[in-house]
Amino acid sequence: MAAFSPTMAINTVVHPLQRHIRDIKRRLLIVGATISVFFVVAFSYSSILIDWFKRPFEDDLIFYAPAEALFASIKISFMAAIIASVPMILYQFWKFIEPALLKKEQRWAVPLFFLGLGFFILGLAFCNLVILPLVINFFVTFGMDRAITPELAVGTYVDFNVKFLLAFGFAFEIPLVISLLARAGVIQASVLIQFRKHAALVALILSAVITPDATMFTMLLMAVPLIILYEIGIWGAKAFGRNPQPAEEKSEATDQGDAFADGKQD
């Protein structure tokens, strides 16, 4: 029998990692292709989307640069394409983690799919009905109180709205993603609790990066929901996180892990 060498150990680790990377690339290509198709469709309706976007602002939008209206149409079409592609994004995420779950856990696919879609729509609705009108009215009123007439450029206005909508849509997936990762054994609730302060700091940094003006008001409007969603995720990790398994279940989980390492194909 050949002696076990360090090179064999390295190959044993690298080979599954390469399969994971190939699987991730393949799924990202599928998501990218889906977004591209929906983008082409959405771009033909970009004027309708922009008209719908300007509802919180009563006056007409203007543009200063020759290509500003074009880039605004591209941004809003890209946002619409991402929203339309959310079912595919959720499906690809599920198929990636599915092999790491037990057979009985894989039956959650359909309920979790609709739950994830519901969370995303809830995030969009919360942002569109509560956050955006509040933010836009605050800044417009602030300027008008100082005898400044608001004339909003379409590019800036669309960029402002798109960033908020997508950020809140995906942020509302945080509890579900954390719960799934905890169920798959990737993270534990105790670790999430330990890094709670770090998560709050990351939420503030992300809010400063994502919000167009990065004022304290808009930062808090985004950071506070992110922190609350992280706390809900901790609760989900506690409730649905994987418990210590008996020997027979460990054997089954090991088999599932081997399938996961092999990069299960759809």
Q: How many domains does the chain have?
A: 1
pLDDT of residue 253: 47
State the Cα angle at 235 between 233 and 237, rounded to 5°. Answer: 70
Q: Taking phi first (over 0 means left), then psi (-120 to 50 degrees means alpha), and beta for anything else, what does residue 44 get?
A: alpha
pLDDT of residue 14: 53
Residue 84 lies in a domain: yes
For residue 40, give both structure tokens.
């082409």
For residue 222, give both structure tokens.
């985004």
Q: For residue 72, how many other CB atoms are within 10 A of its CB?
A: 24
pLDDT of residue 37: 96
Residues 117, 88 contacting (CB under 8 angstroms) = no
Backbone angles phi, psi at 261, to 5 degrees: -65, -30
Does position 36 have pLDDT exceeding 50, yes or no?
yes
pTM of the model: 0.67
Predicted confidence (pLDDT) per residue in 154-200, tens digit: 888 888 888 888 888 888 989 888 888 887 778 888 889 999 999 99
pLDDT of residue 5: 53
How many Å apart are CA 113 and CA 87, to the nearest integer? Answer: 8
pLDDT of residue 52: 82
Residue 1 lies in a domain: no
**Which domain does 102 fall in, by range?**
7-259
Predicted confidence (pLDDT) per residue in 64-82, tens digit: 888 888 998 998 999 899 9
How many Å apart are CA 52 and CA 58, to the nearest integer? Answer: 11
Residues 98, 72 contacting (CB under 8 angstroms) = no
For residue 170, give both structure tokens.
């995906």
Residue 223 lies in a domain: yes
Residue with the larger pLDDT of the pair 99 and 244: 99
Residue 247 — very low, low, confident or very high, per pLDDT cuts 50/70/90?
Answer: very low
Residues 137, 218 contacting (CB under 8 angstroms) = no
Does position 4 have pLDDT exceeding 70, yes or no?
no
Residue 266 lies in a domain: no
- Residue 91: DSSP 8-state: H
Residue 265 lies in a domain: no
Residue with the larger pLDDT of the pair 214 and 11: 214
- Percent pLDDT > 70 in the chain is 82
Residue 41 — very low, low, confident or very high, per pLDDT cuts 50/70/90?
Answer: very high
Mean pLDDT of 219-239: 88
pLDDT of residue 186: 80
pLDDT of residue 187: 85
In 3-state terms, what secondary structure has residue 153?
strand
Residue with the larger pLDDT of the pair 22 and 57: 22
Residue 2 lies in a domain: no
Q: For residue 264, how many other CB atoms are within 10 A of its CB?
A: 15
In 3-state terms, what secondary structure has residue 185?
coil
Instruction: Please state the three-class secondary structure of 43-81 as a single string.
Output: HCCHHHHHHHHCCCCCCCCECCCCCHHHHHHHHHHHHHH
pLDDT of residue 99: 76
Q: What is the mean pLDDT of the chain?
A: 79
